[in-house]
Structure 1
Amino acid sequence: MNYYINHKSQPKPAALSHTDAQSVQRAMRFHQTIPGYAPTPLVALPALARELGVAKLWVKDESQRFGLNAFKGLGGSWAIARWMGEKLGLEGEQFTFQALTDPKAREKLGEITFVTATDGNHGRGVAWAARELGCRAVVYLPKGSAQERLDNILALGAQAEITDLNYDDAVRLAARKGEENGWVLIQDTAWPGYEQIPAWIMEGYTTLAGEIFEQLAQAGEEPPTHLFLQAGVGSFAGAVLGSALCRWGKDCPVTCIVEPDQADCLYRTARAADGKLHPVTGEMNSMMAGLCCGEPCTLAWDILGPCADAFLSCSDDYAALGMRLLGRPRGGDPAIVSGESGAAGVGALAGVLQEEGLHDLRWTLGLDERSRVLCISTEGDTDRANYQKILQASK
């Protein structure tokens, strides 16, 4: 594990407007109108907390989100809904899933095709949202994607294929195809000139944070002292950290951003500290497929750059460790099925707390027996063959 401690300037980033309390409530209100909506569990793991030497550990289990085995449907559904809602002039309490699927609304909008690139979970979420809202979806996956992830997207009625491109080039392909065919690009990363839809996607992710706030309050729990958030382009991590900043202010948890060492664009950008984004190019061969993104999301970086406390660049061993800790619990903790990307935060936390060579990092982050740590398992076993292989391997 390599790490960089961020020397934060602590400004109020403009991007926090996408994650403030109003945004959280707006996104949650819409998601609650979708058939099958339910908050995903916030699971306490007291035995693992004791083993790792912290006071409390919670894991938000996103494998149970809308039957999609990952959290990404939150962003895709909100962005597609916002695009449709603007075309229809729907606002406030009128803006519901039922209003968007009304036959008169569908007739007014006509046939719509949404296009995206994905490592798997985002494309599945877009395909599901498009189907539920009566639209078409076209999805491009990077080379090396698991066949199971492609099959899951095809099963939702989308047109999809695995390309011979890396993730970032697949994004460029989706953008080009959208322009050529008049399709609407629903991409979970931003760049200059393409920011509104990625901002909506980040807003959609804040439903997850809103649920956490309510679940902690209902249980009478104090807020966490530490957050471990995995990142690809950074949209998810930026949405959660931004929501936490808007909710808790100066009491916001110490936040660590976790990336695969094969695709650590945020870590490299933070370490360079030169005001420029530093992409990773070429092959990105981590098994953390959902995090294998080489170019940071500009909107996410506007939050993570000034506000995250540390950036961790981790080998696949940490993801595997997290998968086993959650999937093979000890001491009466419930099992959590967490995939390669989903378990990265827990694996990194365990490494920081237990590895002798990371003592200075533990001290700097203030991780000790009084710490209350929150991690988010962003996916279940989206590659079941690899999940079983990892779980059955020895420690």
Structure 2
Amino acid sequence: MKMKDGFYITDIPKVKDGANVKAFLSVEKGRSVIDYHRSFPAYQETPLAELKELAQKLGLAGFFVKDESYRFGLNAFKVLGGSYSIGRWLAQKLEMKETELTYKKLTDPQTKKQLGDLTFVTATDGNHGRGVAWTARELGQQSVIYMPKGSATERLENIRAEGAEASITDMNYDEAVRLANKMGEDKGWIMVQDTAWEGYQEIPRWIMQGYATMAFEAIEQLGQVVPTHVFLQAGVGSLAGAVSGLLANFYGESKPIITIVEPNKADCIYQTAAAKDGKLHFVTGDMDTIMAGLACGEPNQIGWDVISECDEFAVSCPDWVAAKGMRVLGNAVGNDPKVISGESGAVTAGFVAAVMSRPDLKWLKDELKLDENARVLCFSTEGDTDQEHYRKIVWDGLYPSDREATGNYDK
């Protein structure tokens, strides 16, 4: 473990028992999941932005960013997990084979008659809940969404616009998850959550498989280009685990170096990796980071197991790194495509840009083996899902990245 100027990095201890925990994220499974998503009329592959001139400016061989702001018109990737897990749950209830799992089949009036009226429930800072609400509406069902305190009103209204019953609680994210679970148990609703605990693992695993569609698309778009470095943001670790597992299974011995990036105030994956004792480590309190989608204090055991098998490093960083990423991606260099990325979506690109351009962060550049031969892949997991805050950062300069301007690295 090393730290300096608000940055912390640790290597991730590897699984030592030889267990292939990433097997459920196989390439074959990835093809099956993407076929399911492609059956939706709203499906369209999201762009992979190749930032050639930014790469040159930073001293990299390549810089690619998967832009999830186009996903199903919902401005974030989360719907991939919600839609696939709900589909799998319905298929199981209908005793359907996975190969029969299509949008057309699930929306057939006869299918709806067999299922009756169902309600899906979840806790979310915004993107996951909107995806669950959208899927429930698309399939003719109901949803109830609980949001942690501090959630943006815009995100709440976006969820309600999908037909959900939604509210902002006075709880942090992990407490909101427990509330959603209790309400589900009390009322017979189906819990659709991307974190796991004892007795609740099947749906979180399906959600991770759903997320893998994003990585599968990126692999196809890269073609013969093999990234040397992948940077993945983490909340509970479901997204990071899903992408890591599929990349590791696809690339095999050519697998890129994978680094997890989290905010200082909600770095449960980093804390778990740094402890090196094989146990999950929680972060508690308000976790008031600008990266609302990553403000999770309790890791998903399934996601962590894959991360610990596949990934090399975990990093904890200040909030200004995400703000820098938003500005870098939104103000393209030369003829590079512009990427509108929200706080949680931009932190990895901001981290790479900071490490490659600041002499005071050379120690991180060296640790991660980032040089002129590096081909970097990041995933911008959301667009401007909180437009007011996006403009405060990109237009007004909130959370500046200049050390003298901030006085510290946390604000």
> Shared fold (TM-score greater than 0.5)?
yes
Match of 1:309 in 2: 312
2:109 matches 1:103: yes
- The percent of aligned pairs where both chains have the same amino acid is 52
How far apart are residue 11 of structure 1 and its match? 6.4
RMSD between superposed Cα atoms in Å: 1.2
- Of residues 330, 342, 347, the one that matches 1:339 is 342
Match of 1:255 in 2: 258
How far apart are residue 10 of structure 1 and its match? 6.9
Contact 1:49–1:55 (CA under 8 A) maintained in structure 2: yes
How far apart are residue 270 of structure 1 and its match? 0.4
SS at match of 1:90: coil
Contiguous gaps of at least 5 residues in structure 2: 1-6, 401-411
Q: What TM-score, normalized by structure 2, do the two folds share?
A: 0.93
Match of 1:237 in 2: 240
- Of residues 283, 301, 306, the one that matches 2:286 is 283
SS at match of 2:392: helix
How far apart are residue 306 of structure 1 and its match? 3.1
2:163 matches 1:160: no
Q: What TM-score, normalized by structure 1, do the two folds share?
A: 0.97
Deviation digits for residues 185-207 of structure 1 (CA, Å, limit 9, x no counterpart)? 00011112110000000000011
2:53 matches 1:50: no
Instruction: Show structure 1 runs of 4+ deviating over 6 A.
Output: none
- Partner Cα distance (2:145, 2:296) in 1: 16
Match of 2:90 in 1: 84
SS at match of 1:312: strand
C-alpha change, 1:241 and 1:286, in structure 2 (3 Å) is same
- Of residues 114, 119, 127, the one that matches 2:125 is 119
- What is the letter of the counterpart of residue 374 of structure 1? L
Contact 1:99–1:105 (CA under 8 A) maintained in structure 2: yes
Deviation digits for residues 267-289 of structure 1 (CA, Å, limit 9, x no counterpart)? 00100101111100011110100
SS at match of 1:212: helix
Contact 2:33–2:210 (CA under 8 A) maintained in structure 1: yes
SS at match of 1:59: strand
- Of residues 319, 323, 340, the one that matches 1:320 is 323
Match of 1:137 in 2: 143
Match of 2:181 in 1: 175
SS at match of 1:246: helix
C-alpha change, 1:109 and 1:306, in structure 2 (3 Å) is same
- Partner Cα distance (1:75, 1:307) in 2: 21
How far apart are residue 22 of structure 1 and its match? 1.8
Deviation digits for residues 192-232 of structure 1 (CA, Å, limit 9, x no counterpart)? 21100000000000111111111112xxx321000010010
Tell me the number of residue pairs that the alignment of Structure 1 and Structure 2 aligns. Answer: 392
Match of 1:25 in 2: 31
Contact 1:322–1:345 (CA under 8 A) maintained in structure 2: yes
Deviation digits for residues 247-284 of structure 1 (CA, Å, limit 9, x no counterpart)? 00111110110101110000001001011111000111
Contact 2:91–2:98 (CA under 8 A) maintained in structure 1: no
Deviation digits for residues 315-364 of structure 1 (CA, Å, limit 9, x no counterpart)? 11000000000001122211110000000110111122223233233223
Contact 2:15–2:308 (CA under 8 A) maintained in structure 1: no
Contact 1:69–1:382 (CA under 8 A) maintained in structure 2: yes
How far apart are residue 393 of structure 1 and its match? 3.3
Contact 1:13–1:302 (CA under 8 A) maintained in structure 2: no
SS at match of 2:266: coil
